[in-house]
Amino acid sequence: MSDLIKDLSELRLNYQKGELYEDQVNPNPHMQFLQWFNHALAAQLHEPYAMSLATANAQGRPHVRTVLLRGATETGYDFYTNYDSQKGLDLAENPYAELLFYWQEQERQIRISGKVIKISEQESTDYYHKRPRESQIAAHISTPQSGVVASREELQQRFWDLHQQVANQEELDKPEFWGGYRLQPDYYEFWQGRPNRLHDRLSYERIDGTWKLQRLMP
């Protein structure tokens, strides 16, 4: 196998699986999100609830990673993590973030941006106890998230040590450093791939409490 990268200028697809018209979308962007999200679920796409989360620190340095959507209502979009993770540190300094859903098979993309707040301790605790027990244990030992660990073996040993320690404990306490965040949207963009790169892009922006719908240049 050659280690030379292929000429990327030759790689392209022609998008032609859908279209997006202003008079066909829901005036409520959350309802439009649910419509597309439910289509992705019905199509049995691989992890359609996976989303990119972009944050930035106080200096404006961006960080992006994939997380899982764990709640979606008109009040916001929820995800869970360690508060001492890079995303948690970023949000403590700069509480604004953006989510990106990309469903390649349907040639669709959704951007959602807004201010991020911490979910209540009770909600975080309730969700923590819904997780598989092994995931609950992993949350306890993977701190600080993104911190350096000497080896995979050391991490696995920490896991099995705690696994044995709590073997007779029916319920684990949620770690204080772990919990949920909620992105409160003030902007959405729906993208539908179209032929000849003339993509459909519709944005919703919250202005004075109402949503303004606009078409964007591709």
Check whether 191 is labelled as a binding-site residue.
yes
Check whether 15 is labelled as a binding-site residue.
yes
Q: In terms of residues, how long is the chain?
A: 218
The torsion of the CA quartet 68, 71, 75, 77, rounded to 10 degrees, works out to 0
Report residue 25 as tokens: 């979308």
Q: What is the DSSP letter of 83?
A: T
β-strand 50-56 against 71-73: which pairing, if any? Answer: unpaired
Check whether 111 is labelled as a binding-site residue.
no
Asked if 163 and 151 count as a contact pair (C-beta separation under 8 A), the reply is no
- β partners of residue 53: 65, 99
Report residue 95 as tokens: 């509480």
Check whether 44 is labelled as a binding-site residue.
no
Check whether 131 is labelled as a binding-site residue.
yes
Check whether 148 is labelled as a binding-site residue.
no
Check whether 70 is labelled as a binding-site residue.
yes
Give whole-number Cα distances, 141 to 33, 123, 179, in Å.
35, 21, 15
- β partners of residue 192: 108, 200
Check whether 41 is labelled as a binding-site residue.
no
Check whether 89 is labelled as a binding-site residue.
no
Please indicate whether residue 152 is annotated as part of the active site.
no
Check whether 68 is labelled as a binding-site residue.
yes
DSSP string covering 24-59: GS-SSHHHHHHHHHHHHHHTT-S-TTEEEEEEE-TT
Which of 111, 197, 206, 215 is flagged as catalytic? 197
Asked if 181 and 118 count as a contact pair (C-beta separation under 8 A), the reply is yes
Check whether 188 is labelled as a binding-site residue.
no
Taking alpha carbons only, the member of 185, 189, 186 closest to residue 208 is: 186
Check whether 65 is labelled as a binding-site residue.
yes
Check whether 152 is labelled as a binding-site residue.
no
Mark the binding-site residues for FMN, compressed into ranges.
65-70, 80-81, 87, 109, 145-146, 191, 201
Catalytic residues: 197
Residues contributing to the annotated binding site for substrate: 12-15, 70, 127, 131, 135, 197-199
Could you list the residues known to form a binding site, using ranges. Answer: 12-15, 65-70, 80-81, 87, 109, 127, 131, 135, 145-146, 191, 197-199, 201
